Amino acid sequence: MLKTSVAKKIWMGISGLFLISFLVIHLSINLLLIYPGKEAFENAVHFMATNPFIRIMEPVLFLGFIFHILSGIWLEWTNRQKRPVGYNQYDRGAVTTWAAANMIWTGLFVLVFLVVHLINYWYQFKIVGVEDHYELVISLFDSPVYTLFYVLAFIALGIHLSHGFQSAFQSVGAPREKFHKCLRTLGYIFSFIVAIGFSIIAIYFYLK
């Protein structure tokens, strides 16, 4: 049981790092929506849609998400089985951070966001055949409910990453004593940039 858990944790780390690199690319491209604007964003989307390497990586990305989600649920489930009595909130807080203790909940919220997000964008572009990416993206932020839901999901993603970033590196073998502080700080900076970066896009177009 322990051996399988450790193996799953390593795979979670690898898939987590892969998803982190996706977020860096996705955020960089999305920021083009604000500056320089429509043309640069459409060019980047066109490049992503036609580049053969990216085309190959698209199904890998979907599998990465599915693998990461299923492993996360499985890990949470087996951890709960191993401690059937359960910790109360106080005990949990004493040994870990709030973000670490609630990875499953922030992760599930991001999953709900992801399903809505893929229906709104991916489905519209790839299946329905909508061509004006820029117009569709910004028109969705006309709605205050939609914008608020997005911003809350980005906050949940930031909290998830504030623990997930360092955890992913440690799961793939970064020496704990040597790099713990450094990875923790980097993780906080990265999760802050991701949460704020995506939120700025949503709020900017809502206010515009």
Residues 109-148, one symbol each (x = binds ligand HEM by CB under 6 A, - = not), give -x---x--x---xx--x-------x---x-----------
Instruction: Give the type of residue at 153.
Output: A
Radius of gyration from C-alpha coordinates of the chain: 18
Is residue 58 a contact residue for ligand HEM (CB under 6 A)? yes
Compute how many residues bind ligand HEM; rule: CB under 6 A.
Answer: 17
Q: Is 157 or 159 the residue whose CB approaches ligand HEM more closely?
A: 157
38-50 vs 2-31: helix crossing angle, rounded to 10: 140
Q: Which residue has the tokens 């519209």?
A: 124
Q: What helix, strand, coil percent values describe the chain, rounded to 5?
A: 85, 0, 15
Determine contact, residues 113/107, Cβ cutoff 8 Å. Answer: no
Which positions from 77 to 116 touch ligand HEM by CB under 6 A, shown as an x/- string? ---------------------------------x---x--
Q: Which of residues 17-46 bind ligand HEM (CB under 6 A)?
A: 26, 30, 45
Asked if 203 touches ligand HEM (CB under 6 A), the answer is no
